[in-house]
Amino acid sequence: MTRRIHVLTDVVANQIAAGEVVERPASVVKELVENSLDARASRVEVALMRGGKGGIRVSDDGIGMGREDALLSLDRHATSKISSSSDLSDIRTFGFRGEALPSIAAVSRLNLDTREADQGVGTRVVVNGGLIGTIEDSPRQRGTTVEVRNLFFNAPARAKFLKPVSVEARTVSDALTGLALANPRVSFMLTSGDRRLLDLPAVDDAAARVSQVWGPEQGGALILVSTEDTGLELKGLIQRPDAAKPGLGRRYLFVNGRPFKAQKLVQAAERGYRTTIPQGARPWMFFYLQVAPGVVDVNVHPTKAEVRFSEASHIEDLFESAVRSALADQMSSATLDRELAAPRLLVHESGEQFKVRGADTDAQMALFIADAEVGDAAEGQPVTELAASRPNLWQVLNTYILAETRDGILIVDQHSAHERVLFQRLMEAFEAGGQDGQRLLFPLTIRLTPPELELVEELQGLLDRSGFEVEPFGGDTVIVRAVPNPHPYFNAERAFREMIEELTQGSELVRSAKNQHEKIAMTFACKGSIKAGQQLADAEMQELFDQLFSTDLPHHDVHGRPTIIRLSATELARKFGR
Amino acid sequence: MNFTITRQNLHSGLASVSASIPSKTTLPVLSNILFQAENGSVWMSGTDLDVAVRIKVPADVRQEGSLTAPGKKLQDITKELPDQPVELATMGSQLELKSGRGHFKLNGLPADEFPTLPEVDFDEGWRVTGTDVNRLIHHTSFAVSNEESRPILNGVLWELRDGAMRMVATNGHRLARMGVPAESGDTSSADFIVPPSALQQVQRLFKKDEVLEVARSGNHLGFRAGAAEVYTRLIEGTYPNYDQVIPRDNDKVATVDKKALESAVRRMAVVASDQTHRIRLKFESGRLHLNVLTPDLGEGQDELEVGYEGEEIEIGFNANYLLEVLRYMPTDEVDIAFKAPERAVTIVPSEAENLDYLCLVMPLRLLD
Ligand SMILES: Nc1ncnc2c1ncn2[C@@H]1O[C@H](COP(=O)(O)OP(=O)(O)OP(=O)(O)O)[C@@H](O)[C@H]1O
Ligand SMILES: [Mg+2]
């Protein structure tokens, strides 16, 4: 029997963010399951009686404890996970305070049943409100079982705050789901009374775990996010924009395998979705961050729910740009496929040793490694590269363009596609000074309503830089002397009128813009782009296609709708029963 | 209906008419050709409802009558027939075709389902030469607008005046205008806005040396010469006052070698934005400096020696518009006239006072 646990010195103990660890059954389960994961369990089972208010049992098949450690584990500041202050800056385990077991034991009747692999017999300790009662041999298998009954029997003030059984059970389930997502290779089971709430056999990767929890449709709606930076690696699964719906968005963040909450990072990721999803849609997201020692401090919150990053705003930017580039990928486009394979995302689980590359690694090298990893992770996913650099294009219903890819077909909405093109062009042109205006032989005289007139005066500078040279013409009329010329079928007068009308009256699109420039660029894109119903010559289709794929987000228009819908060969084969 | 016709006559008649048949149509009878046999000849007609073509070919008519039959199929069969007389006859609703031992029956549609062609009284019209009309069409019709919000600009304005006629086309960004002296008959002056597709048929069917009879009936215009007739719907409305926007005070004039400018502009266009096609022309004393700068793409510069004395001026252009206009300029040198960077630029053939041809290009606004 080797002793692993020791009591931290006061110096170290005092540096730990202390506070109330045990609030409700979910916090007990979280602490106990984290202990199981720290003990490298491959299987964790949680059983609740009356939502945990009656009893909680957590069993694992981890490394277990010897008798001496079992007793020591119940002492305050007794831990096997750190020993000195310097360890606090590189915590790789969930636990590090030596607080959880004694805190739980103090407010319940607790049985600890544990056996180390190399021990002939296990140990059973019975604790009552923090006082050790019996210690006896236990015949159990390798691993640990902690049973907590009569939670808060000696703390009625806290018992009062417990919620109805169903609410407590759901909170436990949510907490366990977070840990299960962080550790897909561990199997989890949660029962409440005789109901099975979670049954998650071990799987290879995070997306498979998402599929287990919420169903394969949800797993198939995810795309990969992957980026790296000095001392930091961000991987994730986010929802395809066409699958993002308003309502409850599942958002989970993990840093070095530890779940944490950070509204700012979620918001940054949402910014990455800008223009690709409708207002109000709440895409699901699962982010797995691996950081080098020193980048994150997990010792800031008593229940470790929050963490602190040394360069918080930099990490926010990274989230935003990682989402952005995932949405630039073909896999982010809408699809007609019904049974989609979930992407594969291998995550580094807690406790696992993970080396994040330092700043000194050659940048060129990094590129190759990143590539190889992404390729590996995306294995099993269709490759939707275009079949040829110049695929055959067909126009359908004078509205859609069909193109062949290596793995099926793309259906492009010509209007939406051109919207994306015009939006990006005008935004870029704004940065470079403005967009050319074609002077007109017959200037347009346009009557406006008083509010429209006011708006045109207010926006004159920006309209000018969009290519519309507008001058007041007296009364309620303006004269337009030059207009942008985005395509041969452009109806300048109509586009101008509709733009001004929409800008004056407001619309969902206008409200989604983050500034005046975007407002103008979005409405111009919307009103000025090639219309549905416009017949296009082959060369025009080709040009539109090329222009679309030279934008940053070719698969999404500016209203949060798709520009492209994929249909894979696999789905076709399925439909035809091949 | 029953007639015999030489393969050659049948073939050339079908070829003339079938170009007016729409390739896609929801009205089945429009894919057919109407045959009308009367003493000594057969009329063949085709139409897409906007433009109609009618051709008379000699034939040995045994029985008068009419029927419509699929134009494309007949043409494809006729192409492969041996060179010997072809006999065509109505058999119920079918057209029967016999040539040597060959025998075909094609399902037709009754003649009364075919749209009636406008009745035009050619005695009440104008006479113009094929040469003049074709020239005007060639030099102006390229400039019509393709954008459908102003249908008037989708047509070519044809002005017939005592002693002269003119055609004008514009899309509001560039304009082409050409005039020729013309002996008007006794008829008054008139303005027509003609769809370019009709003018294409006119160019195709009438030979240069022919004298064309042109006459109007209500909203239609008819052209006739020899055995061919073209009818077209006219575009209704008033053409914008183009004369007023053609500048008369463009006092700076550069004389430029057309070929050299064309190919310089074409080179610049390679590096121009595929959206605006913007290039810049800077006129300096004795020189024309061309340049293009497109973010994300690159840049280009070039210089030509030109006849220019005025002050330095830089103008932005859509390269495509310049190229189109240059392509139709009939002389080796052209005079480019301008006044200010944002004003209309005119281009005319150099040293050709007797040639009434003018093109106008509106510049692009340069933002710097
Ligand atoms: N399921 C388990 N299997 C093996 N060892 C365990 C288990 N649970 C607890 N231990 C041991 O008991 C010690 C004390 O656990 P406790 O949860 O109180 O503290 P901790 O995990 O070290 O820190 P924290 O208070 O941050 O959770 C742990 O350090 C570990 O050595
Ligand atoms: Mg612990």
Ligand 1 centroid–CA B282 distance in Å is: 80
In DSSP terms, B42 is beta-bridged to B37, B57
Confirm or reject contact between A431 and chain B (CB < 8 A): no
Collect all residues with Cβ–Cβ distance below 8 Å to A475 and sequence separation of at least 6.
none
Residue B365 and residue A491: Cβ atoms within 8 Å?
no
Q: Which two tokens stand for residue B268?
A: 């610049």
Confirm or reject contact between A380 and chain B (CB < 8 A): no
In a domain, B368, yes or no: no
The ligand with the least distance to the CA atom of A73 is 1
Do A444 and A547 form a contact (C-beta atoms < 8 A)? no
Q: Which two tokens stand for residue B212?
A: 């064309």
Residue ranges in chain B assigned as alpha helix (H): 7-18, 71-79, 130-140, 196-205, 242-245, 258-270, 319-328
Closest ligand 1 atom to Cα of A103: 18
Boundary of a domain, candidates A377, A400, A431: A377
DSSP H or E run through A41: none
- Planar angle of CA A119, A124, A126, nearest 5 degrees: 160
Of B276, B278, B363, the CB nearest to A439: B363
**Chain A partners of B368 at a C-beta cutoff of 8 Å?**
433
Residue B364 and residue A438: Cβ atoms within 8 Å?
yes
In a domain, A559, yes or no: no
In a domain, A567, yes or no: no
In a domain, B47, yes or no: yes
Same domain, B256 and B356: yes
Residue A434 and residue B367: Cβ atoms within 8 Å?
yes
Separation between Cα atoms, residue B131 and residue A512, nearest integer Å = 60
Boundary of a domain, candidates A200, A223, A242: A200
Range of the domain at B47: 2-113
Confirm or reject contact between B268 and chain A (CB < 8 A): no
Same domain, A314 and A418: no
Same domain, A360 and A427: no
Distances (CA, A) of A58 to A26, A181, A195: 12, 18, 16
Residue of B nearest to A468 (CA): B365
d(CA A441, nearest CA chain B) in Å: 5
In a domain, A390, yes or no: no
| Global ipTM | 0.81
Tell me the pLDDT tens digit for each residue of B282-335. 999 999 999 999 887 899 999 999 999 999 999 999 999 999 999 999 999 999
Residue A434 and residue B364: Cβ atoms within 8 Å?
no
Separation between Cα atoms, residue B240 and residue A363, nearest integer Å = 63
Residue A485 and residue B278: Cβ atoms within 8 Å?
no
Of A432, A438, A543, the CB nearest to B362: A438
Boundary of a domain, candidates B243, B270, B294: B243
| B295 exposure class (CB count in 10 Å sphere: 0-12, 13-18, 19+) | exposed
In a domain, B48, yes or no: yes
Same domain, A354 and A483: no
Identify the residue among B275, B278, B324 best suited for mutation to test binding to A, counting A beta carbons within 10 A and taking the highest: B275
Distances (CA, A) of B307 to A351, A406, A444, A468, B324: 81, 56, 36, 34, 22
Same domain, B10 and B88: yes
Question: How many contacts, defined by CB atoms under 8 Å, are there between A and B?
Answer: 71
Same domain, A30 and A152: yes
Strands A285-291 and A251-255: parallel
Confirm or reject contact between A434 and chain B (CB < 8 A): yes
Which pLDDT does position A360 carry in this prediction? Answer: 37
Residues of chain B with pLDDT under 70: 183-187, 368
Q: Which two tokens stand for residue B146?
A: 């393709």
Residue A543 and residue B274: Cβ atoms within 8 Å?
yes
In a domain, A566, yes or no: no
d(CA A486, nearest CA chain B) in Å: 6
Same domain, A221 and A352: yes
CATH label of the domain that carries residue A217: 3.30.230.10
Sequential pLDDT tens for chain A (578 residues) = 678 888 877 766 667 665 567 889 999 999 999 999 999 999 999 999 999 999 999 999 999 999 999 999 999 888 988 888 888 777 888 888 899 999 999 999 999 999 998 888 999 999 998 899 999 999 888 999 999 999 999 888 888 899 999 999 999 999 999 999 999 999 999 999 999 999 999 999 999 999 999 999 999 999 999 999 888 899 999 999 999 999 888 999 999 888 999 999 999 999 999 989 988 899 999 999 998 877 888 888 878 888 888 888 999 999 999 999 999 988 899 999 888 888 888 887 655 544 444 433 333 332 222 333 333 333 334 444 554 466 789 999 999 999 988 888 999 999 999 999 999 999 999 998 899 899 999 999 999 999 999 999 999 999 999 999 999 998 899 999 999 999 989 999 999 999 999 999 998 888 888 899 999 999 999 999 999 999 999 989 999 998 999 899 999 999 889 999 999 999 999 989 88
Chain B, residues 307-366, CB within 8 A of chain A, namely 316, 318, 342, 344, 360, 362-366
Separation between Cα atoms, residue A556 and residue A242, nearest integer Å = 9
Ligand 1 centroid–CA A25 distance in Å is: 18
HSE-up of B260 (CA within 13 Å, CB side)?
15
The ligand with the least distance to the CA atom of A22 is 1
In a domain, A395, yes or no: no
Q: Which two tokens stand for residue A269?
A: 């990721």
Residue A438 and residue B318: Cβ atoms within 8 Å?
yes
Ligand 2 centroid–CA A60 distance in Å is: 14
Which of A549, A561, A567 has the alpha carbon at shortest distance from A329? A549
Domain total of chain B:
3
Same domain, B302 and B228: no
Closest ligand 1 atom to Cα of A5: 31
In a domain, A562, yes or no: no
Confirm or reject contact between B46 and chain A (CB < 8 A): no
CATH label of the domain that carries residue A121: 3.30.565.10
In a domain, B135, yes or no: yes
Same domain, A214 and A116: no
pTM of the model: 0.80
Same domain, A175 and A291: no
Which pLDDT does position A369 carry in this prediction? Answer: 29
Do B246 and B252 form a contact (C-beta atoms < 8 A)? no
Separation between Cα atoms, residue B306 and residue B290, nearest integer Å = 12
How many CB atoms neighbour CB B21 within 10 A? 20
Same domain, B300 and B319: yes
In DSSP terms, B293 is beta-bridged to B299
Same domain, A140 and A214: no
Do A347 and A288 form a contact (C-beta atoms < 8 A)? yes
Residue B318 and residue A485: Cβ atoms within 8 Å?
yes
Do B227 and B40 form a contact (C-beta atoms < 8 A)? no
**Chain B partners of A493 at a C-beta cutoff of 8 Å?**
149
Ligand 2 centroid–CA A98 distance in Å is: 6
Ligand 2 centroid–CA A64 distance in Å is: 13
How many CB atoms neighbour CB A188 within 10 A? 26
- Residue A89: DSSP 8-state: G
- Residue A3: DSSP 8-state: -
Same domain, B354 and B282: yes
Ramachandran angles phi, psi of A127, nearest 5°: -120, 140
In DSSP terms, A412 is beta-bridged to A401, A564
Q: Residues B228, B233, B235, B238: is their CA dihedral positive or negative?
A: positive
Range of the domain at A110: 6-200
Do A232 and A314 form a contact (C-beta atoms < 8 A)? no
Confirm or reject contact between A491 and chain B (CB < 8 A): yes
Same domain, B224 and B150: yes
Same domain, B236 and B271: no
In a domain, B366, yes or no: no
What is the dihedral angle through the alpha carbons of A163, A165, A170, A176, rounded to the nearest 10 degrees?
A: 100
In a domain, A569, yes or no: no
Same domain, A19 and A129: yes
Q: Which two tokens stand for residue B136?
A: 């005007």
d(CA A272, nearest CA chain B) in Å: 24
Separation between Cα atoms, residue B138 and residue B180, nearest integer Å = 13
Ligand 2 centroid–CA B245 distance in Å is: 85
Same domain, B104 and B28: yes
Q: For the stretch A248-266, what's the b/e string if a residue is b when 16 or more beta carbons lie within 10 angstroms of its beta carbon?
A: eebbbbbbbbbbbebeebb
CATH label of the domain that carries residue B269: 3.10.150.10
d(CA A547, nearest CA chain B) in Å: 9
**A535 three-class SS:** coil
Confirm or reject contact between A528 and chain B (CB < 8 A): no
Q: Which two tokens stand for residue B289?
A: 């400096």
Separation between Cα atoms, residue A249 and residue A281, nearest integer Å = 8
Domain total of chain A:
3
Of B173, B360, B364, the CB nearest to A436: B364
Same domain, A218 and A169: no
- Planar angle of CA A483, A486, A491, nearest 5 degrees: 60
In a domain, A387, yes or no: no
Ligand 1 centroid–CA A49 distance in Å is: 23
Which of A429, A555, A489, A466 has the alpha carbon at shortest distance from B273? A429
Q: Which two tokens stand for residue B117?
A: 């062609």
d(CA A487, nearest CA chain B) in Å: 7
In a domain, B145, yes or no: yes
Residue of A nearest to B149 (CA): A491
Same domain, B201 and B267: no
Ramachandran angles phi, psi of A439, nearest 5°: -70, 145
| B65 exposure class (CB count in 10 Å sphere: 0-12, 13-18, 19+) | middle
| A190 exposure class (CB count in 10 Å sphere: 0-12, 13-18, 19+) | buried
Do B318 and B277 form a contact (C-beta atoms < 8 A)? yes
Confirm or reject contact between B173 and chain A (CB < 8 A): yes
Boundary of a domain, candidates B113, B133, B161: B113
Same domain, A497 and A436: yes
**Chain A partners of B172 at a C-beta cutoff of 8 Å?**
440-442
Residue of A nearest to B318 (CA): A438
**Chain A partners of B147 at a C-beta cutoff of 8 Å?**
488-491
Boundary of a domain, candidates B243, B260, B295: B243
Do A402 and A410 form a contact (C-beta atoms < 8 A)? yes
DSSP codes of every residue in B210-273: SEEEEEEETTEEEEEETTEEEEEEPPPSPPP-HHHHS-S---EEEEEEHHHHHHHHHHHHHTS-
Ligand 1 centroid–CA A252 distance in Å is: 24
Which pLDDT does position A389 carry in this prediction? Answer: 60
In a domain, B293, yes or no: yes
The ligand with the least distance to the CA atom of A81 is 1
Pocket test for ligand 1, best of A38, A96, A112, A179 (most atoms within 8 A of CB): A38
Residue B342 and residue A439: Cβ atoms within 8 Å?
yes
Do A218 and A211 form a contact (C-beta atoms < 8 A)? yes
Binding-site residues, ligand 1, Cβ < 6 A: A 4-5, 31, 35-36, 38-39, 60, 62-65, 73, 78-81, 95-101, 144
In DSSP terms, A254 is beta-bridged to A259, A288
Supply the residue whose CA is at minimum distance from atom 11 of ligand 1.
A73
In a domain, B367, yes or no: no
Boundary of a domain, candidates A172, A200, A228: A200
Same domain, A173 and A211: no
Confirm or reject contact between B98 and chain A (CB < 8 A): no
